[in-house]
Structure 1
Amino acid sequence: MPDKQGGTGPVEARDASAPRLRASWQRSARYGVPDDEVNPVFTGSVDTSSLLYECGHEVLQGLHQTLANEPISLMLTDSDGLVLSRICGDSTITRSLDRVHLAPGFFFAESNAGTNGLGLALADRAPSLVRAAEHYCTSLRGYTCAAVPVLDPLSGELAGSVNLTTWSEQSSELLLALAQTAAGHTSALMLARASGRRPRRAPRGEVFRMYAEQVEPPPLSAGWEHPLMEAIDAMRRGQTVLVTGEPGAGKTALAAMARRELRPRERLLNARPPAPDDVRAWLTVWAPELGKESTCVVVSGVDTLPAWAASELGQRFSAAHVESGASPFVLTAVDPATLPESLVPHVDTVVEVPALRFRPDDVLPLAHHFARRVRGREVTFTPAAARALTAYDWPENVKQLRRVVREAASRSEVVDAPQLSAEIFTTAGHRLSRLQAMERDEIVRCLAQPGATVVGAATELGMGRATIYRKMAQYGIKARQLRS
């Protein structure tokens, strides 16, 4: 790729990074980023109250103590590339970075500053090292930047990045390793200070075939049927559908049901998003299936893909076509606004799946369906259990309902309130520590026993009556739902 100076571009130095750098340069050109100087957007305020800032700044301060005599600037950014903090003991490099606006309060994403370390790390959600001439903007070519994304340990969403910048002539062999260590420590500290909640399981990029019996739910309400029919109608017209909705709402299930309704004998694959480092292998596994006769791929979570992977996927979509005219793929994402730019032209229709809390009439039919799949026969839910299930808000949607019902049905063919997870009897609006969760579960267990009273539960737990009432209010425990 020719550069602005008539040379060979940024990709000769490191062949392994060439595809990502090339894609980043192309995006920078599309954004209209100047090639001679950085003109990033400035904001007058920086959020220093977030958990990311609290933990990241503390980690970088500790790292700075070991690098106090080195010309290295340590920076923390949010997910949009806004520089939140900068720590550096070298006044020369600090003044130099000020001149190119790599400072707190400035946005340094690719769309603002072209190809650079932190911008590439955020775009691809992967550790990135950008040296000297690999920068898109000539005014940044005096630096080497190593950046690593920081993921929220609970949601798995992109929280920001850690960026280490030094002079381009300095050795950069350890720079990326230091950035990776700092990002890892930041994420671990965020988890520790998020009241001990379990981290979200890392994406594994599964690719598997979906069979009809796996996606056949019971008859559901209009809240589900309307988007289903909308998707079927769009697919019948040969349009490519993007299914959106909250995590766990059933986006992939709806996409699969729509295809099954339209083409019952079709070979249906589901490709779930992988970890950033596994994208290349993930694409190799399933992308050749695109365009094969009577084959459709549901590509889930495309809004979580690195920018370079989304760009390559867009190219594969352009090349994939079948004689029947039906689109050989369906996409899912949480929000259409988060769809990667390179995939936008491939979407004809957006269908939204409502969250389960907006479809309360679907809770019990789905609960019976999931329970029947666990035991192989019908399972009974008592009135108390049914009330608890339908009254809960299900913040994790159908995925959470399936987990709760499977756990309960695995223990009994008659599911009563005591068999249900304690979490659905509470409305605590804050995160609980492990000890708090154990305390909540014990209170629920005592109150769910036949003939239980608050006074009796207080006695069994060794608490005063006022204390247990206070704990019930603290955890949002609804005693009435626990009684048959």
Structure 2
Amino acid sequence: MNKGPLATPRLSASWRRSEYYGAPAEVVDPVFSGAVDEESLFFECGQQVLTGLHDSLTDEPVSLMLTDQDGHVLSRLCGDSTLVDALDRTYLAPGFAFSEREVGTNGLGLALADRTPALVRGDEHYCTGLRGYTCAAAPVLDPVSRQLLGSVNLTTWSQRSEGLLVALAQSAAGQTSALMLARGQGLALRPTPRGEVFRVYSAPSDDDPPVLSGRWHAALAEVEAALADGRPVGVVGEPGVGKAVLLAWALRRRYPHDRILTTRPPDPRDAESWLALWAPELGKDHTSVVAGRVDGLPSWAAAELAGMVAAGSARPFTVTARDAAAIPEPLARLLATVVELPPLRHRPDDVLPLAEHLARRSRGRPVRFTPAAVRALRVYHWPDNVEQLRRVVREAAGRSDLVDTRHLPPEVLCGPAHQLTRIEALERDEIARCLAEPGMTVTRAARILGMSRATIYRKIAHYDIPVPGRGPA
């Protein structure tokens, strides 16, 4: 193994991963993709933030870079021609990939792998070809979903003091997320999970699952087959689609008297205490574990968890992630089966059974849905999947035992959202609410809202507002 001064366990773990990946030890030879998405909100906001920071560092030999989640350099700003020429010789330039897999331990690769700020100085780089630089980087997370989007990287000469490089990178990453939120229709920020990061279900449960479609049961059967053979299994799919629930149901059927412990990834700063908190449960009889959203784990934590599972787990280990490629490699190597659960929009036959099930749980008694409400629920595209259906049904069932369209929020009564201004969103919601009233016609709604028939029809088309069972009077 290429030796160097490994000051921290985090750097040591990164060097071990670099060796496993077969990263070059002497000459930098990254992959060139050439493709840079300059139309994304992430690129637009990140470039604006870095341009402002660059303007304040005009006299400093510092290069500012934006990368995607795979380490591809999207943009580079640097006013020092000597540093630019040197970076070009090492291919640290737009279009080239600088993940750990490509070039070994480096600042941006480590920040992306561990989802937390990183500083890699001179000879801490795995590849000797990068030891002339000091690199500080911070990950950029989507302000709503908390999905990893990329990183902000600051690179300077290794003999210079790193000073405030990490603080500047972290500030720029935070400003990029904040700017994305401000331009994203004012969506509420989803807090990073901290503190309690697991849930425990005791079995058996009296809450029988609803009768769902063949696509759901095909996924359930595949998971159950893996559990019956004692094989670790993963379920992947979009956020909120019900991956952990699917695994919990399969585990209950296989091990009806087990506790089922489900985890969620913590803030990367809390990962060590998070592992210490629950990982001892892996070796206990009558305890099944669902490690949820493992694609959100720092690389070192995923490797540590994989080692604990390999050392001995009383039950088949199960995980969830957004897709198979996102499962950290140490955990992916343990899995014998990965099952994909389709999004709710591809399972329209599941919407009503799930809605009735969720409403009964919320209300404490059966709740019915009118034909108009059923149609509205079935045709809606459910971008946040079952989690969104749960929120909608809980609110509607809290208002009536018979849910009609007037009990549903405007988001469900409208089609896929355009990029609307706040005024347009208010107008859309008001039209949708008016049309949801019992016996309402388009002509009457236009009169109530002070619009002409032509105007309201045009706005209904513009906002994709369905009008089930209604027509002009």
TM-score (norm 1): 0.92
Q: Report if aligned partners of 1:448, 1:482 keep a CA contact under 8 Å in 2.
A: no
- Distance 1:206-1:321 versus aligned 2 partners, 3 A rule: closer
1: distance between equivalents of 2:301 and 2:48? 33
Q: Report if aligned partners of 2:264, 2:293 keep a CA contact under 8 Å in 1.
A: yes
How much does 1:404 deviate?
0.6
Q: Report if aligned partners of 2:290, 2:320 keep a CA contact under 8 Å in 1.
A: yes
How much does 1:266 deviate?
0.8
Of 203, 227, 234 in structure 2, the residue corresponding to residue 242 of structure 1 is 234
What does 1:311-350 correspond to in 2, within 5 Å? 311-322=303-314, 326-327=315-316, 329-350=317-338
Aligned equivalent of 2:414: 426
Instruction: Say yes or no: does 1:73 pair with 2:68.
Output: no
1: distance between equivalents of 2:447 and 2:342? 44
Instruction: Say yes or no: does 1:153 pair with 2:148.
Output: no
Aligned equivalent of 1:58: 48
Of 78, 83, 91 in structure 2, the residue corresponding to residue 93 of structure 1 is 83
Task: Provide Cα deviations, 1:196-248, integer angstroms capped at 9, x if missing partner.
Answer: 33334434462120134486322222222222122222211111111122221
Aligned equivalent of 1:455: 443
2: distance between equivalents of 1:34 and 1:193? 41
Q: Report if aligned partners of 1:215, 1:257 keep a CA contact under 8 Å in 2.
A: no
What does 1:50-449 correspond to in 2, within 5 Å? 50-204=40-194, 206-212=197-203, 213=205, 216-322=208-314, 326-327=315-316, 329-449=317-437
| 1:37 partner SS | coil
| 1:480 partner SS | coil
Instruction: Say yes or no: does 1:10 pair with 2:11.
Output: no
Q: Report if aligned partners of 1:64, 1:74 keep a CA contact under 8 Å in 2.
A: yes
- Distance 1:481-1:367 versus aligned 2 partners, 3 A rule: farther
1: distance between equivalents of 2:422 and 2:206? 34
Task: Provide Cα deviations, 1:157-203, integer angstroms capped at 9, x if missing partner.
Answer: 21111001112222223111111111111111112222333334434
2: distance between equivalents of 1:416 and 1:192? 34
How much does 1:35 deviate?
1.2
Q: Report if aligned partners of 1:197, 1:433 keep a CA contact under 8 Å in 2.
A: no
Count, aligned residues: 469
- Distance 1:106-1:216 versus aligned 2 partners, 3 A rule: same
1: distance between equivalents of 2:354 and 2:423? 32
2: distance between equivalents of 1:316 and 1:291? 9
Aligned equivalent of 2:27: 37
| 1:479 partner SS | coil
How much does 1:482 deviate?
7.2
The runs of 4+ residues in structure 1 deviating greater than 4 Å are none
Unaligned runs of 5+ in 1: 13-17
Aligned equivalent of 1:24: 14
Q: Report if aligned partners of 1:355, 1:397 keep a CA contact under 8 Å in 2.
A: yes
Give the letter aligned to residue 161 of structure 2: S
How much does 1:477 deviate?
0.3
- Distance 1:162-1:388 versus aligned 2 partners, 3 A rule: same
Q: Report if aligned partners of 1:273, 1:300 keep a CA contact under 8 Å in 2.
A: yes
2: distance between equivalents of 1:388 and 1:343? 41
TM-score (norm 2): 0.94
2: distance between equivalents of 1:216 and 1:121? 43
Give the letter aligned to residue 245 of structure 2: A
Unaligned runs of 5+ in 2: none
How much does 1:356 deviate?
1.9
Task: Provide Cα deviations, 1:21-78, integer angstroms capped at 9, x if missing partner.
Answer: 1111111111211211211112334222222221111111111111111111111111
Task: Provide Cα deviations, 1:364-413, integer angstroms capped at 9, x if missing partner.
Answer: 12111111111211112112112211222222221111111001111222
Give the letter aligned to residue 199 of structure 1: L
Root mean square deviation, CA, Å: 1.9
2: distance between equivalents of 1:217 and 1:434? 39
Q: Report if aligned partners of 1:215, 1:253 keep a CA contact under 8 Å in 2.
A: no
| 2:339 partner SS | strand
